[in-house]
Structure 1
Amino acid sequence: MENIAFLGTGGTRTPSQGTTCLRVSDHCVIDAGNLINTFGDEVFTIEHIFLTHSHLDHIIDIPFLADLFVTQKSISLKIYGLKATLDDLRRFIFNHRVWPNFEEITLIGHTDKTIELIELDLEVPYTIDDITLTPFKTNHTEGSCGYIIEQNSSALLFTADTYKCDRIWELLDERPNIHTLITEVSFPSSFAKLAYDSKHLTPSLLAEELQKCKRDDFTLCVMHLKALFMGTIIEELNALHLLRNGGKVLIDGDRINYTRP
């Protein structure tokens, strides 16, 4: 693939918008907030899911995907995440109460289990198809991370859900090949207390965080806007001139090239 396809970009699910899901290669996605509706008959091409954390809007299609795969696939669906995220999947989803434990259920007619949960190490690169994903710790949940997404010599930095996080800006300064930052802005600036409690950003918080970065040559895109406040958030982003260097508010169906714009 020559670009990243944004299959879900919303901060909540609506009739016209899915939640976080990025297709980064032919067989690999980041998060599973809008897989089944967008992939259609191609859903069985998915082989790898890299999770940013275990909140419902980022994992919601995984149980249904496992249910589809158990009778149709010959190899396990590989799901990657930090330890706390995988522990949450085992404890709260695949526990034979909320959903069958597909980590123990064998694919029909084959020997592999339906899903395989693979623990990630922070700041270690993982290569799938022709792209490399490097997880880094974010400030959202105990098991939350973002990813540097690289193809050849070009890279993008995807934070997923986060609050203030110094590592984002350190990575941008350390890696000049990162040409685009994709981050979140979930609430208007007037909801600063809610943003702090839920560990999300507002336009004002993002403006403050940008001051930590020495670079100003990267494109900045945002997603995960809460639907009820989308108009207000966009007005604030524009007033603060945050969507720099051709940046935009991402919507479902958008694509960003791996090569520098």
Structure 2
Amino acid sequence: MDYIEFLGTGGTRTPSQGTTCLRVSEHCVIDAGNLINTFGDDVFTVEHIFLTHSHLDHIIDIPFLADLFVTQKSISLKIYGLSATLDDLRQFIFNHRVWPNFEEINLIGHSDKTIELIPLELEIPYTVDDIVLTPFKTNHTEGSCGYIIEKEGSAILFTSDTYRCERIWELLDERPNIHTLITELSFPSAFDKLAFDSKHLTPALLADELKKCKRNDFTLYVMHLKVLFIKTVIEEINALQLLRNGGKILIDGDRIEF
């Protein structure tokens, strides 16, 4: 694959839109907000899931995927995340109460467990297929991160959910090979208190954050708009001229080339 495919881009799940899920290579995705519906019968090609954090809209299909894998696969489903994110999966999802603990359950007929939870270290590159993923800390939850997604020296910066975050702009200035920034916009600017409390961005906040970056040669895409406020947020995006160098508001099915 010479592109990233956006399987889910919404800030809220609706009948026509999934939540955050990016296919970055043949066997690897970032987040699991819309795996089952989009992959269909090909879902068994997914072997690696890199998580940005443990909020439900980013992990929702993992339990169902594990339920499918346990009888059909011969190797574990590998799930990567910062330690706090993986701890949340163990404590709140795979705990034999909300869902079976597939970290302890073998694949049928095989010695491997159904899932393997693999802790990530910040700013360390991880290679899967022909893609290099480097997690960096974001300002959303204790275990939240974004990723530099790199192939053959060409890089895309994906923030996932975040509030104000200095590291985003530092990375853009430090790494000229990053040609694209994909960030979130969730609420209208009038909801600045809600944005602060839930650690999300508004158009006004993003406009202010962009002033921190010395570069202006990267393409800027946004996603994660909350469905109830899409019209208002789009109006603000246009008024503030936030999208640059061919960027757009991403929808399910969109692709960005490396």
Query: Normalization by structure 1: what TM-score?
Result: 0.99
Q: CA–CA distance in 1 between the matches of 2:250 and 2:117? A: 30
Q: How does 1:21-36 map to 2 (within 5 A)?
A: 21-36=21-36
Q: Could you give the per-residue CA deviations for residues 58-105 of structure 1, whole angstroms, max 9, x where no partner exists?
A: 000000000000000000000000000000000000000000000000
SS of the residue corresponding to residue 228 of structure 1 reads: helix
Residue-by-residue CA offset, 1:185-242 (whole Å, 9 max, x unaligned): 0000000000000000000000000000000000000000000100110110011010
Q: Distance in 2 between matches of 1:85 and 1:12?
A: 20
Structure 1 partner of 2:177: 177
Give the match's secondary structure for 2:201: coil
Q: How many residues get paired?
A: 258
Partner residue of 1:230?
Answer: 230
Equivalent position SS for 1:179: strand
Deviation at 1:250, TM superposition (A): 0.1
**In the alignment, does 2:17 pair up with 1:17?**
yes
- Give a deviation string over 1:149-188, Cα, whole Å, max 9, x none: 0000100000000000000000000000000000000000
Spell out, residue by residue over 1:19-64, the C-alpha distance to the aligned partner (whole angstroms, 9 max, x if none): 0000000000000000000000100000000000000000000000
Which secondary structure does the structure 2 equivalent of 1:191 belong to?
Answer: helix
Alignment of 1:249-260 (within 5 A): 249-258=249-258
| Correspondence list, 1:57-68, <5 A | 57-68=57-68
For residue 67 of structure 2, give the secondary structure of its aligned residue in structure 1: helix
Distance between the aligned counterparts of 1:116 and 1:186, measured in 2? 32
**Runs of at least 4 residues off by over 4 Å:** none
Q: Which residue identity lines up with residue 180 of structure 1 in the other structure?
A: T
**SS at 2:101 equivalent:** coil
Structure 2: distance between partners of 1:129 and 1:21 = 18
- Secondary structure of the structure 2 residue equivalent to 1:216: coil
Counterpart in the other structure of 1:156: 156
Amino acid aligned to 1:97: R
Q: Which amino acid aligns with 2:205?
A: L
SS of the counterpart of 1:70?
helix
In the aligned structure 1, how far is the partner of 2:231 from the partner of 2:223? 13
| Equivalent residue, structure 2, for 1:125 | 125
* Aligned-partner Cα distance in 1 for 2:172–2:237: 20
Residue in structure 2 matched with residue 96 of structure 1 by the alignment? 96
RMSD: 0.3
Q: Give the letter for the 1:70 counterpart.
A: V
The CA distance in 2 between the partners of 1:207 and 1:245, in whole Å, is 15
Tell me the distance in 2 between the aligned counterparts of 1:122 and 1:245.
29
**2:247 is paired with a residue of what secondary structure?**
coil
Q: Which residue of 2 aligns with 1:116?
A: 116
**2:244 aligned residue:** 244
Question: Structure 2 regions of 5+ residues with no counterpart?
Answer: none
Letter in 2 for 1:30: I
Identity of aligned residues (%): 84
Question: Is 2:197 the counterpart of 1:197?
Answer: yes
Counterpart residue number, 1:85: 85
Name the residue aligned to 2:135.
135
- Distance (Å, rounded) in 1 between the aligned partners of 2:232 and 2:15: 20
Q: What is the SS of the residue equivalent to 2:24?
A: strand
Question: Following the alignment from structure 1 to structure 2, what is the Cα–Cα distance between the partners of residues 111 and 219?
Answer: 46
Q: Distance in 1 between matches of 2:18 and 2:243?
A: 22
